[in-house]
Structures are given as structure tokens and as C-alpha cells.
């Protein structure tokens, strides 16, 4: 997981209305509708709910990231939760969340970002939620993934969760990781679960020549150049930093989904609420 920096997230709160408009233009869905679809529930179910979310800052490890708590609180408010940031961090913040009768708590350290539903004990983690949300977004952008080749870049926790979802949805996977052992392990785990062995051992250039849909779950910086894609390439890219260089970005236009927190956070919250 790449540690976020303030510049990547500080504008999230004020940008959520525009974010929804852009997401709608690309997928036909708002953030709330996409998250509900990813979790597999009717968005109407989330029209009127009265759940409160306590965002607890955590100072362990490298410490809090300026603007992180504010960004996830804003996303929760945008989805219709009553959200607040506890005035204390860490254990004191947890006590405050309990004392305030919060229904859900959100907290993150350098390794894990999770939502816990204090009423149902349901836990939702960001890697899985991000994979689920971006797979759904890719499917909406592409009119489904069944029978289509999807190039999955990055065999870490996000890529591994996405590979399982994409294989379940009937995609034909090509997997690509700089680390050959991880690439092989991911291909094998997909074969065990789905019965089909993904294609592997290709360079990114070779894989992209096949004109697949793209799921970039790697922290590779500008690994995709304009020459590697065309005006039909559809890309779901949770990886941070973005894998496209500026010319590739111009070609991808509205066929690219990439954000630092919104989709993963929304899917986490609805997963924890719906379970
Ligand atoms: N947008 C979001 O909401 C969100 C949420 C969670 C994680 N992320 C990001 O998604 C990415 C994946 O997360 P993770 O926890 O699985 O990361 P990870 O670091 O555990 O795994 C990344 C994998 O990508 C591989 N990789 C690195 N550079 C590569 C390249 N140039 N080509 C091919 N493979 C390459 C690595 O070998 C590794 O196996 C990270 O950048 C992370 O920060 C984003």
C-alpha cells in the first residue's frame, strides 16, 4: 500500500459533488449507487438510514495524514451517514466513539484501513472494498467483463482481491507483476478458484497489444504511455500513483476511473452497514 499524501486528498470534501457528476458520466452511477451495486443491494435501501460513523485518528507508525480524517468524514456525510471525527486519537478516540453511541467506526494505520460496525460486528477492509468497487466500475464502463480479456497489473492485496472478483464475473485474465513469484502465485490462486489459468509472463507492452480492459492495482508510476493504449482502452486504476503518463491520460479521457479514497471508502461503509 502506498501512503497517501495530503495533496492527494485535501480537495476531496469540496469536490464530492463534481466527483459524482464525473462518475455518473463514466459509469452511469453516482458514488452511492456504485457502492450499493458493488455490495449487491438496492441503493434505495440506503436512502434513509440513521447510522453514525466515528472517524478515529490513529497516530501509530508514521502518524496521521493531514486531511485524511476530514476526507473520509466528508465521504461518509456525502453518502448520508451522520459522521464525526473524534476529538481524541487512538484509544481515547475509541472510548469517545463508544460513549457517543457510534454505529460504525473508521480507522487506519500504515497497514490497514477498516470500518467496524459496532452493532453487527461486521468488519470491512479497504483492499477488498477497493477491488470490489473498481471491478464494478470497470464492468459498468465496459458493459460487463464476461468473456472479455482484462489485464490485471499488480498482484498485491488489491490486485489479488480484484482478480478473484473479475474471474468470478467471467473475465479472461492476463496478470502482470514485476515480481515473477507474486505473478505466478496470483495466477495459480485464480486457477484454483475458477478453474482457468490466467495468461502471464507478458510484458505490459505485449499484454496491452491484445487490447484488453485494464485494472491497474500497482504503484507503478507512469508505466502506461500513449503508445500502449488507444481511444477504446477502458481502465480502472486504484493504484497510486496513477500508472498513466500525461499523454496516455489524455487518450484515456472519460474511460479512466482513478481516485485516492472515494470508491474504496464508500464500498467499505456500505459493506459494513449491509452485512
Ligand atoms: N485508490 C484507492 O482507494 C486505493 C486503495 C487501496 C490501495 N490503493 C493502491 O493500490 C495499489 C495496490 O495496493 P496493494 O496494497 O495491493 O499494493 P502492494 O504494494 O502490496 O502490491 C503492489 C504490487 O504491484 C507490483 N508492482 C509494482 N510496480 C509494478 C509495475 N511497474 N508493474 C507491475 N507490477 C508492479 C508489486 O510487485 C506488488 O506485487 C497501491 O498503489 C495502493 O496504494 C489504492
Cβ neighbours, 10 Å, residue 156 = 17
Query: Looking at the structure, do residues 184 and 86 belong to the same domain, yes or no?
Result: no
**Same-domain status, 200 and 229:** yes
Query: What is the DSSP code string of 168-212?
Result: HTT-EEEEE-SSHHHHHHHHHHHHHHHS-PPB-S--HHHHHHT--
Instruction: Based on the fold, state whether residues 233 and 166 are members of the same structural domain.
Output: yes
Strand-pair partners of 114: 107, 125
Measured in residues, the chain has a length of 275
Q: Does a structural domain hold residue 1?
A: no
Mean pLDDT, residues 4-12 taken together = 92
Same domain (yes/no): 173, 227: yes
Same domain for 156 and 208, yes or no, is yes
**Which strands sit side by side in the sheet containing 149-153, from one edge to the other?**
172-176, 149-153, 213-216, 235-236, 256-257
234-263 pLDDT per residue, tens: 999 999 999 999 999 999 999 999 999 999
Residue 77 Cα to ligand 1 midpoint, Å, equals 28
Ligand 1 pocket (Cβ < 6 Å) reads 1-2, 126-127, 130, 153-159, 176-179, 182, 217-220, 223, 238-240, 259-261, 264
Q: pLDDT tens, 16-73?
A: 999 999 999 999 999 999 999 999 988 888 777 789 999 999 999 998 999 999 999 9
Q: Are residues 121 and 137 in the same domain?
A: no
- pTM, whole model, 2 decimals? 0.97
Boundaries of domain holding 149: 128-257
Structurally, the chain folds into a number of domains equal to 2
What is the atom index within ligand 1 of the atom nearest the CA of 176? 33
Residue 120 CA, ligand 1 centroid: distance in Å = 31
Q: Ligand 1 centroid vs 149 CA: distance in angstroms?
A: 20
Taking the C-alpha atoms of residue 40 and residue 90, their distance in angstroms, rounded to an integer, is: 33
Whether residues 57 and 140 fall in one domain:
no
88 and 119 fall within a common domain: yes
End-to-end CA distance of the chain, in Å? 26
* Helix, coil or strand: residue 109: coil
144 Cα–ligand 1 center, Å:
24
Å from CA of 52 to ligand 1 middle: 31
Amino acid at each position: 500500500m502506498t501512503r497517501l499524501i495530503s495533496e492527494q486528498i485535501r480537495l476531496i470534501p469540496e469536490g464530492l459533488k463534481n466527483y459524482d457528476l464525473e462518475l455518473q458520466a463514466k459509469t452511469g452511477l453516482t458514488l452511492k449507487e456504485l457502492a450499493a451495486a458493488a455490495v449487491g443491494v438496492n441503493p434505495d435501501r440506503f436512502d434513509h438510514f440513521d447510522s453514525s460513523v466515528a472517524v478515529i485518528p490513529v497516530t501509530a507508525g508514521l502518524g496521521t495524514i493531514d486531511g485524511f480524517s476530514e476526507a473520509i468524514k466528508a465521504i461518509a456525510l456525502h453518502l448520508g451517514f451522520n459522521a464525526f471525527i473524534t476529538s481524541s486519537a487512538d484509544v481515547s478516540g475509541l472510548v469517545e466513539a463508544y460513549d457517543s453511541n457510534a454505529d460504525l467506526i473508521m480507522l487506519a494505520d500504515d497497514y490497514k484501513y477498516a470500518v467496524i460496525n459496532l452493532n453487527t460486528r461486521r468488519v470491512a477492509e479497504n483492499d477488498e472494498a477497493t477491488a470490489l468497487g473498481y471491478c464494478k466500475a470497470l464492468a459498468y464502463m465496459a458493459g460487463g467483463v464476461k468473456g472479455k480479456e482484462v489485464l490485471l497489473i499488480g498482484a498485491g492485496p488489491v490486485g489479488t482481491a480484484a482478480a478473484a472478483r473479475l474471474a468470478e464475473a467471467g473475465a479472461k485474465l492476463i496478470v502482470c507483476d514485476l515480481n515473477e513469484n507474486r505473478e505466478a502465485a496470483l495466477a495459480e490462486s485464480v486457477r484454483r478458484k475458477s478453474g482457468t489459468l490466467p495468461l502471464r509472463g507478458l510484458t505490459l507492452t505485449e499484454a496491452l497489444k491484445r487490447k484488453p480492459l485494464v485494472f491497474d492495482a500497482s504503484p507503478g508510476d507512469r508505466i502506461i504511455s500513449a503508445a500502449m493504449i488507444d481511444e477504446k482502452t477502458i481502465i480502472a486504476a486504484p493504484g497510486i500513483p496513477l500508472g498513466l503518463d500525461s499523454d496516455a491520460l489524455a487518450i484515456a479521457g472519460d474511460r479512466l476511473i482513478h481516485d485516492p479514497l472515494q470508491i474504496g471508502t464508500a464500498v467499505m461503509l456500505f459493506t459494513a452497514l449491509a452485512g
